[in-house]
Structure 1
Amino acid sequence: MTRHKLIIVDGIPGSGKSTLSEMISNELNKQEIKNIFYHELTKDHPLFIHERKFTTFKDQGEANYYFNRVVELFNRFVDLHKNEPEIIIIESILFQDTLSFAYNMGMEPSMIEELFNLLVDILNRLNPVLIYIYQFDVRRNWEMIGKIRGVEWIPSLHTPEGLDEAERDWKPNQEFIKSLVEEWEIPKLIIENKDYLWEQYNERTKYFLRANSMLSENIT
């Protein structure tokens, strides 16, 4: 059986992806398992489109450019890592920063599904596993991260109207993305974050990785 070479951690903004990904990388390091962690903010991230800004995917030209460029970047990324020994960890980039972004920019759902299916075919070459953090209360999520990151991050999150808008935009977005997550037939852990029990979620994540032979049993 081909070993898993890719760990994908994803969810809506502020859901805990970065912290969970860092924990995974640290656990792999403890066991001297080589890994590369691509944080969302990694400089010159190989899966981001750096050369162009987009305004709306209701413009078919913009939508087509984005679609084709994303496929090109993901193909290049897999070609780069498929023969390397390291386990790769990516957070945010597949769902939040690629498919959720397309959804919020007005791309047709059928086109997003087509893009998702192409990316699945590409990433399956790395035999991935997926950890998806699902927020039960989207409004509470945005309220909490607004408090943590401060007024200067997104000022509107400190007003009832701004929180209403964040919930209105991201609740249907999350449901659409979760439907795609559930379609993907790979080992996956969906963390339904209702009570913010992060010690428990960390342990569930380590158990999941051990069950898929990515961590051994001798370190907890």
Structure 2
Amino acid sequence: MTKTKLIIVEGIPGSGKTTTAEFIKKLLDKEGIDNELYSEGNLEHPADFEAVACLSKAEYELLLLKYERFKPILESSVIKKDNNIFIHYGKIKNERGNELSEDLYNEIIKFDVCDGLSLERYHELTLKRWNEFAERASKEDKVYIFECCFIQNPLVVMMARHCTAKEYIMSHVLQIENIINKLNPKLIYYYQESVRETIKRVAEIRDKGWINFVIEYICNQAYGEKHDLNGFDGTVKFFEDRRSVELELLEKLSIDKLILDNSGYNWENCYNKIEKFLGNEL
């Protein structure tokens, strides 16, 4: 059996993705298997775009003209591929602090791959990103552990932000699946019986700013506006709708997958099943 080079953990917020991804890393570490874990929000993610802007050459040149005094910093930080100029503004801000003006950051954010570009550009750029990652990972003797970037992130961008047709979203994820098949990927998906209770629970555990941000994001995007979603109840409705799409998508995915009902947060039971599921890899 070909060993997997990619393990993916998915589920709605609060279902246990981060905890499980860390558990899997410990399993692989214990077995001496070279691995890398990329959790949600990792600025170094090799297959996702976190705080990354993409400009055309023309757009980038206009940016340099407007903010000429910051040109040396930008030129030393950008990645140029074909006609695309990528600015990892999150990393720049972390590493160089306030060397760039807030006005410039705000200008760059307008071109954020996930929250600034068109649906078509997001689709095109993310597929290229996954292709590049899969090509590189296929030549490495290493296991990657990804949390939420395979299903959750595309659904948030395409469903919440763009209110995209379900068929388009599924086609996008299925194309990613086709790209990563060479890595013999394994998918672990957490199912929660009550979306409301799960979101309520995680909102109580995390900083209050988290749920406020989620409510504002969900309700003020295209999906929220179209379906007249408001407040906590509207946010729960979105996640219920999102889960319905995810469950339908899971039926279409041919990827080797383990679907776990984690409603009771019985970690011992879940982890035993995960160890068995990944047995041949360990």
Mapped to 1, the partners of 2:166 and 2:214 lie a distance apart of 27
Structure 2 residue 110 is the aligned partner of structure 1 residue 43? no
Deviates more, 1:41-50 or 1:163-172: 41-50
Report deviation, 1:157: 8.3
**Of 163, 174, 181, which aligns to 1:117?**
174
SS of 1:185's equivalent in the other structure is coil
1:180 match:
249
SS of 2:278's equivalent in the other structure is helix
Please tell me whether the aligned partners of residues 188 and 257 of structure 2 are also in contact (alpha carbons under 8 angstroms): yes
SS of 1:40's equivalent in the other structure is coil
SS of 1:164's equivalent in the other structure is helix
> What amino acid is the match of 1:126?
L
Structure 2 residue 129 is the aligned partner of structure 1 residue 73? yes
Mapped to 2, the partners of 1:173 and 1:131 lie a distance apart of 17
Mapped to 1, the partners of 2:25 and 2:234 lie a distance apart of 34
Structure 2 residue 264 is the aligned partner of structure 1 residue 195? yes
Please tell me whether the aligned partners of residues 7 and 144 of structure 2 are also in contact (alpha carbons under 8 angstroms): yes
Report deviation, 1:185: 1.7
Mapped to 2, the partners of 1:190 and 1:96 lie a distance apart of 15
SS of 1:47's equivalent in the other structure is coil
Report deviation, 1:165: 1.4
Q: Residues 156, 38 of structure 1: CA spacing in aligned structure 2 closer, same or farther, 3 A cutoff?
A: closer
SS of 2:188's equivalent in the other structure is strand
Residue deviations 1:90-122, cap 9 Å, x none?
111111112343111211212112212211110
Residue deviations 1:48-102, cap 9 Å, x none?
331133558xxxx811111101111100111121110011111111111123431
1:4 match:
4
TM-score, length-scaled by structure 1 = 0.87
Mapped to 2, the partners of 1:164 and 1:199 lie a distance apart of 32
Q: Residues 142, 78 of structure 1: CA spacing in aligned structure 2 closer, same or farther, 3 A cutoff?
A: same
> What amino acid is the match of 2:277?
F
| Runs of at least 5 residues in structure 2 that lack an aligned partner in the other structure | 54-110, 216-229
**Of 186, 192, 196, which aligns to 1:129?**
186
**Of 154, 162, 172, which aligns to 1:98?**
154
SS of 2:210's equivalent in the other structure is coil
TM-score, length-scaled by structure 2 = 0.69
1:19 match:
19
SS of 1:48's equivalent in the other structure is coil
Larger radius of gyration: 2
Mapped to 1, the partners of 2:272 and 2:156 lie a distance apart of 28
How many matched pairs?
A: 207
Please tell me whether the aligned partners of residues 189 and 259 of structure 2 are also in contact (alpha carbons under 8 angstroms): yes
Report deviation, 1:179: 1.2
Report deviation, 1:186: 2.5
Please tell me whether the aligned partners of residues 35 and 144 of structure 2 are also in contact (alpha carbons under 8 angstroms): yes
1:108 match:
165
Please tell me whether the aligned partners of residues 9 and 90 of structure 1 are also in contact (alpha carbons under 8 angstroms): yes
> What amino acid is the match of 2:118?
E
Structure 2 residue 271 is the aligned partner of structure 1 residue 214? no
CA RMSD of aligned residues (A): 2.0
